[in-house]
């Protein structure tokens, strides 16, 4: 068994009209956009780093640098798929995933199952192997001031049979 953790943060930009942010591969409607070179999906970025970390394969920035125009606006599902393909090549598959999103708004409760389902599909595991938690920052720090969104991810990798 191998264990990995990941963290990611992006700047939130308020919008006049309702836009959407990508979380776990799901578009969540809200009055914010995420400042990012890719689609800015903090959950999938943290999770990709967790998978890479479990296998001591470096980090997402090493494999997909901001400086590469090919990564502009890129779907973050691609990053996770790459990490999982590397894991498979080395004989490992996802056992379970636990993620926490740090965000003041919008509330994620009504989107939680859709996000978990999306992550489970990307990771090739059952829904009950994917946990998603959402926390506010009680008005403190960049998350509390609605200037940032953050995500933590932990993953257990198990040997492929
Ligand atoms: Zn990111």
Distance 161 CA to ligand 1 centre (A): 32
- 100 burial (CB, 10 Å; 0-12 / 13-18 / 19+) is middle
Confidence of residue 99 (pLDDT cuts 50, 70, 90): very high
Q: Does position 88 have pLDDT exceeding 90, yes or no?
A: yes
CA distance 159 to 56: 15
Per the CB < 8 A criterion, the answer to whether 131 and 83 are in contact is no
Sketch out the chain's domains with CATH numbers: 2-159 (3.30.1330.50)
Distance 83 CA to ligand 1 centre (A): 15
Give tens-digit pLDDT for 117-129: 999 999 999 999 9
The DSSP H or E segment spanning 154 is: strand 148-159
Neighbours of ion ligand 1 (CB under 5 A): 8, 45
CA–CA distances in Å: residue 64 to residues 69, 71, 80: 10, 7, 11
Rounded to an integer, the average pLDDT of 134-151 is 96
Strands 148-159, 130-135: pairing is unpaired
Distance 145 CA to ligand 1 centre (A): 19
Confidence of residue 19 (pLDDT cuts 50, 70, 90): very high
Give tens-digit pLDDT for 63-82: 988 888 877 778 899 999 99
Q: Does position 153 have pLDDT exceeding 80, yes or no?
A: yes
pLDDT at 51: 98
pLDDT at 151: 98
Rounded to an integer, the average pLDDT of 21-38 is 93
Which residues are CB-contacts of 64 (< 8 A; sequence separation ≥ 6)?
A: 38, 71, 74, 79, 82
């Amino acid at each position: 068994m191998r264990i990995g953790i990941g963290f990611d943060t992006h700047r939130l930009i308020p919008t006049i009209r309702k836009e959407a942010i990508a979380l776990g591969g799901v578009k969540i409607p809200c009055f914010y956009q995420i400042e990012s070179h890719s689609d800015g999906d903090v959950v999938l970025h943290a999770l990709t780093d967790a998978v890479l970390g479990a296998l001591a394969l470096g980090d997402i920035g090493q494999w997909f640098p901001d400086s590469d125009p090919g990564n502009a606006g890129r779907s973050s599902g691609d990053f996770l798929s790459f990490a999982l393909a590397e894991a498979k090549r080395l004989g490992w598959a996802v056992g379970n995933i636990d993620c926490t999103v740090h965000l003041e708004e919008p509330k994620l409760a009504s989107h939680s199952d859709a996000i978990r389902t999306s992550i489970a599909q990307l990771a090739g595991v059952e829904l009950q192997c994917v946990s998603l938690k959402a926390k506010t920052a009680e008005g403190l720090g960049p998350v509390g001031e609605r200037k940032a969104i953050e995500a933590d991810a932990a993953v257990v990798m198990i040997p492929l049979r």
